[in-house]
Amino acid sequence: MGALSGDEDVENMRIIRQAVGPDIQIMIDANGAWTYYDALCILRRMEKYDIAVAEQPLPWWDVDGLARLRRKVNVPVFADESAWELADLLRIIDKEAADGLFIKVAKAGGISRARKWVGIARAAGLSVSCGCMTGSSFEAAAQAHFLISDEWTARFVQENTGPLTVYNILNTVDEDITTDLAKKLPRYENGFMWVPEGPGLGMELNEDVIPKYISHGKQSVTITA
C-alpha cells in the first residue's frame, strides 16, 4: 500500500475484507509512503475493516509521528524500517511509538543478535513479528529456527513466506521445486511452516543450480576472519 491514492487503498481494503470474511487477519504495509495526515485519515477509515497490523505507515525517520499516530487510531502500529539498530528500537520504546516490531534476522545481524532484539521488545511488551524478503529457502529456514527459539515470538502470527512468493505457490507439500538454492524447501502446509530438521539449519545446498546464479563478469571476493 502507499502507491495508490487513499481512496483506492480504502476501497481495496473493503473488497479484501468482504472476500475473506471476518475471521482472517489482514496486515497492511505502507513501507513508509504515507505522510502523517494521510496515514491518520486512511487508517481511521480502515478501522471498520478490523486491520490486525499497520506496518511502517510513516517514513522511517518519523518516530515522533508514529507515536502521535498510534495514539489517534484504533489499528495496531508496527515499526520495521524505523528500527535498523538496537538504538532505534530503544528510541521507539522510549517514545511509545509502536505496538509491535517487525524484525528480519538478516537485518538484525543473525539469529543470536535477533534474539537480543526480542529480549528488549519483550521487556517493553512489544509484539514481535518476523518479516520476510523474497529470498531462498536458506533465509526462510534461518528465520524459522529463530522464531521457535524464543517463546515470545511463538505467540504471534508470522509471515515467513519468502519461497512461496518466489515460486508463486501456496503449499510446498505437493510441489517439486528444483531451482532453489536448497535441495528441499522448508515444508509449508495449510498456512503453517514446518521448521527443517537436521544439522545446522537442516538444509542442503543444491549445487546443481549454483552456475545459474553466478554473476558473470564479476570478480570473486574471498572474506576471511
- The pLDDT of residue 2: 47
Give CA–CA dist 137/165, Å, rounded: 11
Q: What is the mean pLDDT of residues 126-154?
A: 87
Give CA–CA dist 10/41, Å, rounded: 10
**Under a CB-based contact definition with an 8 Å cutoff, are residues 117 and 130 in contact?**
no
Q: Who wins on pLDDT, 150 or 8? A: 8
Q: Domains along the chain? A: 6-163 (3.20.20.120)
Which of 5-19, 28-42, 161-175, 211-225 has the weakest average pLDDT?
211-225
pLDDT tens digits along 143-195: 999 998 888 988 888 888 888 888 888 888 877 788 999 988 888 998 888 99
Whole-structure pTM value: 0.85
Question: What angle do the packed helices 111-123 and 86-94 form, to 10 degrees?
Answer: 10
**pLDDT mean across residues, the chain:** 90
Q: Give the pLDDT band (50/70/90) at residue 225.
A: low
Residue with cell 537442516: 202
For residue 193, the surrounding DSSP H or E stretch is strand 192-194
Distances in Å between the Cα of 107 and the Cα atoms of 95, 130, 162 are 22, 11, 15
Residue 92: DSSP 8-state: H
